[in-house]
Amino acid sequence: MSENVKVAIIGSTGYGGVELIRLLASHPQAVVTSVTSSSSAGAPIAEGFPHLSEIRTDMLDDVDPALIKSKADLVFLATPAGVAAKLVPSLLEAGLKVIDISGDFRLKSRDSYEKWYKKEAADQHYIDQAEYGLSEVYGDRVLGKDFISNPGCFPTATLLGLVPAVQAGYIDPATIIIDAKSGVSGAGRGASLGTHYSELNENFKAYKVNKHQHIPEIEQVLSDVAGRPVITTFTTHLVPMTRGIMSTMYASIQGERSLEDFISLYNNYYEGRRFVRIRQAGSWPATKEVWGSNYCDIGFSVDERTGRVTIVSVIDNLVKGAAGQAIQNLNLMMGWDETLGLQFVPAYP
Ligand SMILES: NC(=O)C1=CN([C@@H]2O[C@H](COP(=O)(O)OP(=O)(O)OC[C@H]3O[C@@H](n4cnc5c(N)ncnc54)[C@H](OP(=O)(O)O)[C@@H]3O)[C@@H](O)[C@H]2O)C=CC1
Ligand SMILES: CC(=O)N[C@@H](CCC(=O)OP(=O)(O)O)C(=O)O
């Protein structure tokens, strides 16, 4: 087992960054030695985040690769789209390991990134270096790597719910429809019209229909496991709750497959993977049952009338959908037990 690792967080004043601080506080082998800010360097981090009082007494550092390298071995980026694309080359050149939580290095095609994110893509050389860290699917590839691109929140819930069935040929990938719902912390800490209280409270709305930046990420992985190009219908909805994602997926079943066949397939696929829990027949996961934890819970129904399966997958967007999976990737990179520092029981109710 490797030594302890010193880590820095860029974007530590956002929701993903603050969640990294919370989770890493109880990690036995990682210590946060630098928290940075591009807008309030020099201020104590606990000033803006009183919940960190007496827990973190340090000041925010500038986003300076040389300074970060002098304090840390590895850096997490939890920054808006387009920032990591510019910063990562200098961080890697400084000799830091990198785990990027943003979408900047997930898509292997620069054209696809520019089309869906409407930002300038990173240099292809660095995109090629990034290992896509969907832990339960590609975790084996992460060991010993220096640069991980952490999956998106919706793709994590959706892909963990679809990959075993697509890979085994239990469903026809061309028929997949994904109906996804997110709590508002998924939109980050910055205020916007769509996320302020009176727009959100007592409301439930669809957004970015057929235009969401997670569509190509989901299709990239499904195409990989299906062995042929897959395109999907994916609709996101905003729910008036703080944390949580529920992805409900529908697809036509191929061959004779019972509910028990699906449950057994998924139990086998995720055997030994502690963060994916497969529900028994008739048990449907709810976002509260994974709240504050790194779990992804998945339930199924097989409809003999239509020949379709319904798959429901839930995660906490800030944990398994962001900071938690990023730490799981840190553990896998370092050759540690993937559950290190992540064994939280969901907070209930
Ligand atoms: N929220 C979620 O559930 C998830 C988010 N993500 C992705 O993670 C990333 C962070 O998301 P989230 O934490 O929600 O976003 P927030 O808006 O809450 O935080 C982003 C942080 O980035 C920092 N930042 C902004 N511009 C720069 C810059 N030019 N250089 C360095 N730092 C900068 C800001 O801090 P400061 O001004 O102090 O520098 C800000 O606090 C995004 O790419 C998001 O899409 C991925 C999965 C889930
Ligand atoms: C509720 C909400 O607005 N969620 C965000 C998720 C953002 C995110 O995770 O973005 P990247 O994965 O692309 O970094 C959205 O739907 O765009």
ipTM of the complex in this document? 0.98
Q: How far is CA 145 from CA 132, 167, 343, in A?
A: 11, 25, 24
Taken in order of first residue, the domains within the chain and their CATH numbers are 5-129 (3.40.50.720), 154-317 (3.30.360.10)
Q: Say what the pLDDT of residue 194 is.
A: 85
Rounded mean pLDDT for each run of 10 residues along the chain, 349 residues in total: 87 98 98 97 97 97 98 98 98 98 98 98 98 97 96 98 98 98 97 91 96 98 98 98 98 97 98 98 97 98 97 98 98 97 96
pLDDT (0 to 100) of residue 2 = 55
Can you spell out the DSSP letters for 320-340? IIIIHHHHHHHHHHHTS-TTT
Ligand in nearest proximity to the CA of 211: 2
Q: Which residues approach ligand 2 with their CB closer than 6 A? A: 81, 102-103, 152-153, 182, 186-187, 213, 236, 238
Tell me which of 18, 23, 38, 236 to substitute to probe ligand 1's pocket, judged by most ligand atoms within 8 Å of the beta carbon.
38
Residue nearest to atom 1 of ligand 1 (CA): 186
CA distances from 65 to 5, 72, 127, 233, 239 (A): 17, 10, 19, 40, 38
Nearest CA residue ID for atom 14, ligand 1 = 188
153 carries an active-site annotation: yes
Q: How many Å lie between the centroid of ligand 2 and the Cα of residue 339?
A: 25
Cα–ligand 2 centroid distance for 131 (angstroms): 20
Q: 301: CA distance to ligand 1 center in Å?
A: 37
The CA–CA distances, whole Å, from 338 to 17, 132, 176, 334, 343 equal 20, 16, 30, 9, 10
Dist CA 299 CA 286 (whole Å): 10
Tell me the whole-structure pTM to 2 decimals: 0.98
Any idea how long the chain is?
Answer: 349
Q: What's the pLDDT score for residue 3? A: 81
- Find out whether the beta carbon of 325 lies less than 6 Å from any atom of ligand 1: no
Q: What's the N-to-C CA distance of the chain in angstroms? A: 37
Ligand 1: nearest atom to the Cα of 87? 30
For residue 21, the Cα-to-chain-centroid distance in whole angstroms is 16
The answer to whether the CB of 15 is under 6 A from ligand 1 is yes
Q: How many CB atoms lie within 10 A of CB 318?
A: 26
Alpha carbon of 76 to ligand 2 centroid (Å): 17
